[in-house]
Amino acid sequence: MEDKANIIEAFSEMAPRYEQVVDSELNRFWGWSYYGFVNLLIASTPVQPQDIILDVATGTGVIPSLLEKAGHPRNQIHGLDITMSMLNHARDRLAGQDGHVEENLVCASAMEMPYANSGFSQVICGLATHHMDVKELILESYRVLRNGGKLTIGDVGGSNLWKFPGVKFLLRIVAFIYFFVAENKSRAWAETSAVSNILSKDDWSFVLLNCGFRNIVIQKLKSRYFWVPSPLLIKAEK
């Protein structure tokens, strides 16, 4: 519960400047822009006109906004986020000039999605799985997907070297110091606790297979520095 509280506090504070902060961090460590990474995630998602899409940890609504601009019907795009401040920014973004109130945005945990079984044909999650219990997220994604539905994830990936004793402990110390200095205490605690949720390619394959997914493809993307955990692009099918 404390981790959840730290995450909500950290991202509530960051909500007005979320895209700028993440863009700066991705550029610094990976050499990616925020929109470059999100656009790659969307381009890797085989969206069809009839698809009902769920964007998990939608944040400020960037992915739903880009999907709509690409021509996908607004009423077929749903977003879920645990932080109401982020969702308020998403609502402002998606309201449009007509003042439409976005009804497909829900404040809830991705580990307890308030959706019926098999309601979606696509589930997308960008830059957020490291703040979640990955197995619970994958089980919930499997539950809400239809048979044949697709899961697309883009996030930081860990290394098998992290399994050596003491490595993750040192990473937690480094994460806390960096984010405490760069941001604030709540962000530092949120990112420190996230270290345990960062999975390697092998770990991701194991979790996805054991949760019932098939046709799993995991691609390691470029990173600016060899010592920085590289981003992963993950695709799987129910």
In 3D space, the residue among 215, 94, 98, 81 whose CA is nearest the CA of residue 147 turns out to be 215
pLDDT digits (tens, 9 = 90+) for 45-91: 989 999 999 999 999 999 999 999 999 998 899 999 999 999 999 99
CA–CA separation, 58 and 61 (whole Å): 5
Please, which residues have CB within 8 angstroms of residue 180's CB and are 6 or more apart in sequence? 187, 188
Q: What does the DSSP assignment read for 48-65? A: -TT--EEEET-TTTHHHH
Give the global pTM: 0.92
Per-residue pLDDT of the chain (238 residues; tens, 9 = 90+): 447 888 888 889 999 999 999 999 999 999 999 999 999 999 999 899 999 999 999 999 999 999 999 999 988 999 999 999 999 999 988 886 455 556 799 999 999 999 999 999 999 999 999 999 999 999 999 999 999 999 999 999 987 777 777 888 888 898 899 899 998 898 988 889 899 899 999 999 999 999 999 999 999 998 888 777 889 999 999 9
Topology (CATH level 3) of domain 2-237: Rossmann fold (3.40.50)
What distance in Å separates the CA atoms of residue 223 and residue 40, rounded to the nearest whole number? Answer: 15
DSSP-derived 3-state class of residue 156:
strand
Contact 11/94 with Cβ under 8 angstroms?
A: no
Domain boundaries, given as residue ranges, for the chain: 2-237
Using a 10 angstrom Cβ sphere, with 0-12 exposed, 13-18 middle and 19 or more buried, the burial of residue 99 is exposed
